[in-house]
Amino acid sequence: MGNCCSNDGPVGIGGGGAVSFHDGGFGGGAADAVEHFLRSRGVPFSQIELSLSAANLLDQDVFSKSDPMAVIFAKRRDGTLEEIGRSEVILNSLNPSWITKITVNYQFEVTQPLVFQVYDVDSQFHNVPEKMLKLEEQQFLGEAQCLLSEVVTRPTGLLTLNLDHREQQGPHPKKFGTLTVHAEECVGSKTMVEMVFRCVDLENKDLFSKSDPFLLISKITESGVAIPVCKTEVRKNDLNPLWKPMVMNLQQIGSKENPLNIECFNFNSNGKHDLIGKVVKSLAQLESLHHSQCGENLFFPTGVGHDHHNKVLTSQIYVEKFTESKQQTFLDYIAGGFEMNFMVAVDFTASNGNPRLPDSLHYIDPTGRPNAYQRAILEVGDVLQFYDSDKRFPAWGFGARPIDGPVSHCFNLNGSTYQPEVEGIQGIMSAYISALYNVSLAGPTLFGPVINTAASIASRSFTSGRQKYFVLLIVTDGVITDLQETKDALVKASDLPLSILIVGVGGADFKEMEILDADKGERLESSTGRVASRDIVQFVPLRDVQRMYMHPTFRILCSKWFFSIWRDVGGSITSR
């Protein structure tokens, strides 16, 4: 059931079985999804099925075209590659669409680099199972890389990458084709549809025996491209086949009204399968066919262009079973258009030390090694940037004196008077370094003004109906001196789509910071006696963690983000 295809019969070589990988760092209604999520380690992760296709591959064979196979690797932090799955081999094709789905665990709080390699499998190995093939014995056709979050955050779930070659040299790089990655959430965490098909009176395509039919279901994108979704097993020597149950999820299709190509092929071992006939039906129409117990005539497309027409066949297809079940998941919110907007506030108080001296927390190492502030920004920003479509991030400083001005407790990091946004994570880093040379470190440490500014942006977005959730990162080296004002600001902001991560750098005593982090169950209370509607703060001392996102409290913060999305703005997803 974890596979969206019946996997008994092969397509090309190998078949359509799903390949899963669960280790090595990759890991109802909306309320049910949140409850399940909060019980599962506090980390929003989902199983993602990756489908691959390629175009314009190199032709490495002399008397035929290449026989390509795709391999997916996880790239570790030390640069090593760990294989997580392989496709089947497609015979004699430079534009393959592989059926095998490769499953990975998507984790929101981790950057997950993927490497895709394509090989031409030599004919002498065509009878060897894909998992047993030695890659060094095959011809290398090209390689591409991306982050998993780059794919899952695309509105279409599609990302096309250029294939490169390891040994490519010279001023005029050779083209090695493209690889398209399609990401979909696995069955079990989405709406699931189970169907059983049968056909009657199929045309015989074989000379000395009956046809060996199988069904291939593809969804049709808005651009008219057909993407394979599911296939049945091959029924040998059978003109009236009844196939095993086929399971798919609705996210793979888009909606019950989207058209599906349902094609019946006669299987051939050379990979050139004969089309017996087809129908184009949506899931809603297939459900109606099931309830009516009527068959639908297959047709055979003939002609091209303006001369195109369909020859209606006597063969019919029946839907023997159609069942549907529904659940909601974390990625529903992202797929539904919700974004996360990253905001940063940096502590420029004098306790950080002179930025020009190596013992300062703000020291910019000429070797390029990031300081504690840069580390914190990169760690969080690298995760969140792909969930913001325009990648324009508000960035502020506090506790410094701009040139010829008074101490400011919330100034735009880019030096602009009116516009706090910068372009991308590197824009934040550049603005931070520039600010170090244009302000004088001062004090005291006040959080209230920055939190109120961030809350004002979140409030305007929320009241205008935008589907955004805001995450403010505050990086600081000291204990705040406006504790009550900060509590007041946090209580007021607790009704907004906003979460705050405070990262403490340096060796200061951060005990007071834990007061703002209500993990022990005591909600913050304002000076007027109002209690926060929820806990929106997580404090993490950077010195306690080697990689911040691996810290348990950072994972707890992720659960708070998800819970807050559901509570404050996510309810609309169930009403759409």
Both ends of the chain: CA-CA distance in Å? 28
Which of 58-72, 177-191, 430-444 has the largest mean confidence?
Answer: 430-444
Runs of H (alpha helix) within 370-482:
372-384, 424-436, 448-463
pLDDT tens per residue, range 382-398: 888 888 888 999 999 99
Tokens of residue 185, six digits: 């959430």
- Do 402 and 351 meet the contact criterion of CB atoms below 8 Å apart? no
Residue 301 reports pLDDT greater than 80: yes
In a domain, 471, yes or no: yes
pLDDT score at 169: 56
Q: What is the pLDDT of residue 110?
A: 76
Residues 391 and 534 both lie in one domain: yes
Q: Which residues is 471 bridged to in the sheet?
A: 342, 499
User: Per-residue pLDDT averaged across 283-308, rounded?
Assistant: 86
Question: What single DSSP character describes residue 237?
Answer: T
Average pLDDT over every residue of 14-32: 30
Q: Mind listing the pLDDT tens digit for each residue in 279-292?
A: 999 999 999 999 99
Give the 3-state secondary structure of residue 430.
helix
Whole-number Å distance between alpha carbons of 480 and 188: 46
**Residue 542 above 50 pLDDT?**
yes
Per-residue pLDDT at 302 exceeds 60: yes
Answer yes or no: are the C-beta atoms of 514 and 535 closer than 8 Å: no
**Cα separation, 73 vs 557, whole angstroms:** 29
Identify whether residues 218 and 294 lie together within a single domain. yes
What pLDDT does residue 70 have?
A: 97
- Asked which of 132-136, 153-157, 231-235 is least confident by mean pLDDT, the reply is 153-157
User: Which of 163-177, 190-204, 221-235 is the least confident region?
Assistant: 163-177
In a domain, 14, yes or no: no
All residues at 6 or more sequence positions from 393 whose CB lies less than 8 Å from its CB, including other chains: 341, 342, 343, 344, 381, 385, 421, 422, 424, 425, 427, 428
Parallel, antiparallel, or unpaired: how do β-strands 213-220 and 81-86 relate? unpaired
306 or 558: which leads in pLDDT = 306
CA-closest candidate to residue 300, choices 263, 272, 266: 263
Using alpha carbons, list the distances in angstroms from residue 459 to 355, 466, 560: 35, 10, 18
Indicate whether 317 and 349 sit together in one domain. no
pLDDT exceeds cutoff 70 at 564: no
Least confident residue range of 16-30, 178-192, 252-266, 466-480: 16-30
Asked if residue 19 belongs to a domain, the reply is: no
Q: Per-residue confidence at 41, pLDDT binned at 50, 70, 90?
A: very low
**Cβ contacts of residue 390 below 8 Å, gap of 6+?**
none
- Those residues whose C-beta lies under 8 Å from the C-beta of residue 562, and which sit 6 or more positions away, are 34, 37, 38, 44, 108, 330
Alpha-carbon separation of residue 196 from 143, 187, 193, 417, 478 (angstroms): 38, 17, 10, 64, 64
Residue 26 domain flag = no
pLDDT tier at 17, thresholds 50, 70, 90: very low
Inside any domain, residue 8: no
The answer, yes or no, to whether residue 426 has pLDDT greater than 80, is yes
The answer to whether the Cα torsion of 118, 124, 129, 135 is positive or negative is negative
Both 409 and 521 in one domain: the answer is: yes
Which of 224 and 526 is assigned the larger pLDDT? Answer: 526
Point out the least confidently predicted range of 55-59, 165-169, 426-430, 498-502: 165-169
- Residue 318 shares a structural domain with residue 346: no
With 70 as the cut, is the pLDDT of residue 155 above it? yes
Q: What is the pLDDT of residue 29?
A: 33
Displacement of CA 420 from its chain's centroid (Å): 28
Residue 32 lies in a domain: no
| Burial per residue of 290-324, b for 16 or more beta-carbon CB atoms within 10 angstroms, e otherwise | beeeebbebbeeeeeeeeeeeeebebbbbbeebee
Q: What is the pLDDT of residues 205-242, one digit of tens each?
A: 877 788 899 999 998 877 778 888 889 999 999 999 99
Are 365 and 373 in contact by the 8 Å Cβ rule? The answer is no
- Above 70 in pLDDT, residue 320? yes
More confidently predicted of 523 and 31: 523
CB 312 within 8 A of CB 299: yes
In the β-sheet with 102-107, what is the strand arrangement from edge to edge?
19-20, 102-107, 45-55, 178-185, 158-162
Whether omega before 444 lies within 30 degrees of 0, making that bond cis, reads: yes
Domain presence at residue 174: yes
Higher-confidence residue: 217 or 4?
217
Cα 313 to Cα 204: distance, rounded to the nearest angstrom: 12
At 568 the pLDDT is: 42
Domain that holds residue 469: 338-575
The percentage of the chain sitting over the pLDDT mark of 90, rounded to a whole number, equals: 49
Query: Residue 172: which pLDDT band, with cuts at 50, 70 and 90?
Result: low
Q: What is the mean pLDDT of residues 534-549?
A: 68
Q: Determine the average pLDDT of the residues in 455-475.
A: 88
* Residue ranges with strand state E in 76-177: 81-86, 102-107, 113-120, 139-147, 158-162
Same domain, 419 and 562: yes
Of 326, 354, 384, which one is at a domain's C-terminal end? 326
Q: Assess whether pLDDT exceeds 90 at residue 520.
A: no
Using the predicted structure, report yes or no on whether residue 458 has a pLDDT greater than 80. Answer: yes
pLDDT value for 225: 80
Give the model's pLDDT for residue 305.
Answer: 58
pLDDT band (50, 70, 90) for residue 171:
low
Q: What is the mean pLDDT of residues 547-554?
A: 46
Domain boundary among 292, 326, 360: 326
User: Sorting pLDDT into bands at 50, 70 and 90, what band is 78?
Assistant: confident
**pLDDT single digits (tens) 88-127:** 999 999 999 999 999 888 877 678 999 999 999 998 998 8
- Distances from the Cα of 496 to the Cα of 174, 392, 491, 493, 503, angstroms: 52, 20, 10, 5, 21
CA geometry: angle 11, 14, 20, nearest 5 deg: 110
- CATH number for 123: 2.60.40.150
23 within some domain: no
How much is the pLDDT for 569? 39
Per the model's pLDDT, the better-predicted residue between 184 and 334 turns out to be 184
Q: Do 153 and 72 share a structural domain?
A: yes
Task: Give the CATH number for residue 459.
Answer: 3.40.50.410
Same domain, yes or no: 456 and 406 = yes
Residues 235, 103 share a domain: no
Q: Which is more confident, 555 or 429?
A: 429
For the ranges 158-172, 277-291, 384-398, 476-490, which has the lowest average pLDDT?
A: 158-172
Q: Report which of 433, 497, 445 is spatially closest to residue 474, judged by C-alpha positions.
A: 445
The mean pLDDT value of the chain amounts to 81
Q: Do 162 and 202 sit in the same domain of this protein?
A: no
Final residue of a domain: which of 143, 168, 185? 185
Report, as an integer, the average pLDDT of 490-515: 86
Task: Say whether 304 sits in a helix, a strand or coil.
Answer: coil
Q: Are residues 132 and 200 in the same domain?
A: no
Confidence tier at 168 by pLDDT (50, 70, 90) = low
Domain count, the chain: 3
Give the pLDDT score at 195.
Answer: 94
| Strand 81-86 relative to strand 68-75, pairing | antiparallel
195 in the same domain as 143: no
Name the amino acid, one letter, at 348.
F
